[in-house]
Amino acid sequence: MIDEPQILHTTAQPIAVVRLTVPRSEIRTVMMPALTEVRRALAEQEVTPAGPWLTHHLRVDPHVFDLEVGVPVWSTFTESGRVVASMLPAAKLARTVHVGSYEDLAYAWSEFEEWIAAEGHECGASMWECYAAGPESGPDPSAWRTELNRVLVQ
């Protein structure tokens, strides 16, 4: 289930990330270790994340995930190991919130992209998910919230 989508214009947002290119089947085994790396590197530098963790998909491919796993930041930090600085783009984008389990995200994205097309917009290559509330918030998936963002061609 998704909330009513919106079209908005965003400003660029600095992010601290680990970049990954992995087969789709491996995504669940590499995401959390990458996020742990980012959080550890920032904590060592006393840099506080500026929002919830996210995955920034740089291209859409049904078999390979080319993405960044990380958090938004407001202050600078020193790159460390695989943890590097990146940026969510300033863009015209469509945004909605998926309410429910992560297992339903593929369906939520499909519903969201159908809405985008029905509204006459064309999707760009970049997209990201912000995990506002998930398993760390409690075991009931009906309370989980994942923000879906899709860059639009202007």
Instruction: Give 55's pLDDT tier (boundaries 50, 70, 90).
Output: very high
Tell me how far apart the terminal alpha carbons of the chain are, to the nearest angstrom: 27
pLDDT digits (tens, 9 = 90+) for 77-115: 999 999 999 999 999 999 999 999 999 999 999 999 999
Segment 31-55 mean pLDDT: 97
> Which CATH number applies to 6-152: 3.90.1150.10, 3.20.80.10, 3.40.50.620, 3.20.20.70?
3.20.80.10
Residue 120 region by backbone torsions, left for phi larger than 0, else alpha for psi between -120 and 50, else beta: left
Please give the Cα distance from 82 to 70 (Å, whole number).
11
Name the average pLDDT for the chain.
Answer: 95
- Enumerate the domain spans of the chain: 6-152
Give percent of the chain above pLDDT 90: 92
62 pLDDT above the threshold of 90: no
Q: Quick check: 23 and 63 in contact, CB under 8 A? A: yes
**pLDDT of the residue at 136:** 86
Global pTM reads 0.94
Q: Quick check: 57 and 37 in contact, CB under 8 A? A: no
